Each structure stands twice: as C-alpha cells, then as structure tokens.
Structure 1
Amino acid sequence: MPATELSPLGDVLDAWQLAIDAHQPERVAALFTEDAVFQGLRPFSVGRPGVATYYAGQPAGMTVTYRLLETRRLAGDVLLGWATADFTFAGPERAPVPVNLTVVLRRTADGWRIAHYHASPRIE
C-alpha cells in the first residue's frame, strides 16, 4: 500500500512524540479517542483521562523516539501500526526503556485518533 495512504500513522505518532517530549499530558491525551483502550507499561485504562494521568506521571525530561515498522489498513477509517519506541530520561540515573508499540487509529470527526495503544517491553 502506498505510504501516503498510511501517512496518518506517522502524523499522529509525530504529534504524540512532540507532546511527550514537551511533557504535555493533556496534549498527548487529545491524540486518543474518547474511548481509547490504553495499555502502557502500567495498568491499562480506557479513555483520555487515563492517558493524561499516565503521561502526567512520567518524569519531566522524558523523551521518545519511534520507528514505524509495519502498517496495515484494516478498514476505510481504521489503520494499524507497529513500531519500536525508545523512552529516554534526563540524567544518567535511569536507563532508556525500549518498547514495542502497537496502535490502532480510527478516523473521527476530529481527524485521526488513537483508539488502541499497547506497549510491551522490547527484548534486545
């Protein structure tokens, strides 16, 4: 499938990265659907408030880089993406956290939003 058809995945993940790097949890949460299923590395939540709480609990100075590995169009308004992500922290006292990331995007009236997010530790 041509990359341009799946560019919303990169656009949303770029915005996710910028909001995390700026430590703006409400901005991160706005990238998710109202009923998003969110599974970070701690207990899961449903909805934007859980996403905002999760990212508000992350330390200032945490940043993320990602690499989109696979993409699929599941339906006209649904996209699947699989990526690697590396969360890094200010200062040497905390090691980076490498994860595998799966997201499902759904087109809404507000544009493409993350409807499902699952992170799991990446074994290297």
Structure 2
Amino acid sequence: MSEAQILRTVLDRWKSAVDAHEPDLVASYFTDDAIFQGLHPYAVGRAGVAAYYAAQPLGLTAVYEIRETRRLVDDLVLGYLEVEFGFTDRPPLTVHLGMLLIRAGDGWLITHYQVSNLN
C-alpha cells in the first residue's frame, strides 16, 4: 500500500467521525500516547483528542488534501496536508496539518498530529 493510500484510509475515517461530531470515534484513530496539537494547547493521548473534538461546534466538517507523503521507515508514514474546516456560522478555516501514522497490527493509527494556521 502506498503512503497516500495509507493516509487516505486513516483520514477518511477521521473525516467521517469529525463530520459526525463523534469525538470518541475520532480519538480511536490515534495511539494511546499520541501527541496532539490542534489550535489549542497540546494534549497527549486519546482522552485529550476526544476532549478537543468534543469542544468543537456541531456542524464542523473537514475536507483534506494530501500535499506530501514520506515513508520514514516501514511502519511510519509522514503526511503533510491542507485541511479546510467548515462551520455553520462563520467562514471556513484552512490549516496545514502534519501527522505521523504508525502501523498498529493490520492497520495504522495517528501518533502525532500538528496543526499550523499560517493565515
């Protein structure tokens, strides 16, 4: 499986859970010790990821575009993306997202998530 296919597999599930406002499901796509940096103070672990997404407004949507990928080692994939977060009550917010995915059994989980707002 290519790096882009690995990213899309994980990101499509992440997007679906974000769009459905299911913070615990979003968090399940992260490792237990994931480093997570959204646009608020960072967190470590699934509980912090779930709390971050639980605080997001209802109606939040995510549309992503993969910009770059690298396989750092067999079980570690780097992705650099542009993500547009849509809201029901304000203009969308476009951010840059860097993430590391690690192989976990037969699948992949997010182990590092870093958002940058360069606007």
- What's the TM-score bracket when you normalise by the shorter of the two chains? over 0.9
Pick from 53, 65, 68: which aligns with 1:67?
65
Where in structure 2 are the equivalents of 1:33-52 lying within 5 Å? 33-52=31-50
* Alignment gaps of 5+ in structure 1: none
Please report how far the alpha carbon of residue 122 of structure 1 lies from its aligned counterpart in structure 2 after TM superposition.
3.3
Please, which runs of 5 or more residues in structure 2 have no aligned partner?
Answer: none
Please report the TM-score for the alignment, with normalisation by the length of structure 1.
Answer: 0.92
Count of residue pairs brought into register by the alignment: 118
Residue 109 of structure 1: CA displacement?
Answer: 2.5
Aligned equivalents of 1:80 and 1:120: distance in 2? Answer: 16
Q: Distance in 1 between matches of 2:2 and 2:88?
A: 36
Q: 1:29 to 1:110 in 2, by over 3 A?
A: farther
- In the aligned structure 2, how far is the partner of 1:105 from the partner of 1:122? 23
Percent of aligned pairs sharing the same letter: 49
Match for residue 113 of structure 1 among 103, 109, 113: 109
2:78 alignment counterpart? 80
Alpha-carbon distance, 1:110 to partner: 6.0
